[in-house]
Structure 1
């Protein structure tokens, strides 16, 4: 009896998903609870597990196509695992056949790289590569596979640059355009950014922070911190702590405009912008005011790890009272971040650069960071915004104040 593979409900506001990749092909055996298909929404990516042990008999939706919540995207038939072979089975931790084959292949071929097995001439196509092939309108045979064991990797598709002659280029060979559909996450990001610009009165104020003291503080306690907690003490925990201090002093920036009312909160759910495998995501550190430096660092590290694997849950991206984004990790010196509605403020951190500054009447070289606060002027006045940013500057420049709460 055929068993349906349906798109599960993934959130109250989500009605449609994007087929990211099939982890198993038609006719292959799959263990119950092994990941069968990757689905994307405008907020996150998640896998759908197999409901039974069996064979995939039909795949109704191809990579790159849309499907509605509750829609049937494939069928399975109950079956026992083929004797003597696990080839083609899919599992979240890697199939047995993939684990066995890794003994005779380079170490770079991990168990999770078992691939879909689709392709041309036996080429094994990795799920991410399969998705990109569909987006670019290519087949596996069009791209040279460089992965271990002849696998076709995502990087192979990204680096593929066919020479195409086009009449629009006056006969010049080697010029081409790649038309790639926007992912649901990218579409949602675009919509929210444009909405923020149109529906809020955004203004940005700037300041600069001397990072010398906090850098010395980190250096002094880094080894002890790592030994005790198993993670490095980064800058973000200092800025989260300083932000909470400043939000407590200027509650308007932690507030939300709801209809014609201002909603003030006595808790601090801080969103931290993290570069994920499919774009920027902003997971929320809930009740950040209750967390220690170590707990903040561990939470951010876990978010970053799962963001790269596109494993951030939808509930972890929703809500938030304020956001912090660090463009400095990408080399940004100065920028104007955009508020994430319905929040009223966002703090932008930037690169640390040695610059000459005046200290006590003398010019000295100090490690300086520009910081920016973009705020909704409908909720926050300029005085509060400037004072908020100055408070962050004061606390970060004298990190002991975070412990003394002064």
Structure 2
């Protein structure tokens, strides 16, 4: 492993940057294809072809967040092997590819669901390793801009492949096997892309407890405090995700929009704004105090969700949806890179595993609690409550504005 580290360190900085960026574009394109499976196709196949139970559908829908939950364990156990970060990131992608290929050949809903859950759980679990590579290989002043084009590639490919894949399934649901094979190939190519990124060996952990990285929540009070505010804001956001479709489509709220309007408001408008404003937020991330940026994002999210749920006017709802998409473009960049501002040298993967783990917790529980709360206080009040929680999280962050981290300065 020493030779690997030395070969990395002796490479010119520009060469490391260029190679990382080139293979990250490949990773972004493959992630765009894989994203359609997580968001749409696998669940659609489970419903239409296998007539899956509620439990199976819930397992498939929650797999990406379960993967985030498991990232903490993955970082702990792989760090003991002394492997390169790129190798650690490629292994879960290989599992993603293999799981989707086997799912394409499945004859029972049980095997199909098991393979899909394993595939998308693995897809999310590799995030801390890739973020750590970003910190090692991209200069502090260019990290946001450096990931913006791969992210735009992900969003663009997802839209194109989502459209093409939906036409394939609409022509004949039996063609889903070919679709899953394409998704599986994307998983393998993504593994190759991540493996090809220049990287250093993963830092070994000093503790035997697989949940030991959670100690940084308390050993680094500022890190823990920011994550607390993020948990409040993120929970307020994630528990509204499944309610948006219900609010616009269901007759009980008095809107009952057509399928096209539902797709326009919940997918097309926010994804378009998300794509268009990625470069804008990427530049702000590189130039702006992170806490101020996080507060701005919280407030734009709060305004968007508030507009979405307080009105039955489709124009107002559409404006709210556009603001949500606008905020998501910056939110993803901040979510992916903020740990590079906070983690001490050699701790990026560990810090990121804690952040991703907590996202998995709120992503798994949020929709469940959201539906329960909506049944008690109503969807409109959920929107108001979510906006209030986001504003509250922003106020909590104000004392942190002047606390510039060593790794950020």
* Bigger proportion of residues as helix: 2
Instruction: Tell me which structure has the larger Cα radius of gyration.
Output: 1
* Bigger proportion of residues as strand: 1
Higher relative contact order (CA 8 A, sep 6+): 2
Scaled to the shorter chain, the TM-score interval is under 0.3
TM-score w.r.t. the length of structure 1 is 0.24
TM-score w.r.t. the length of structure 2 is 0.23
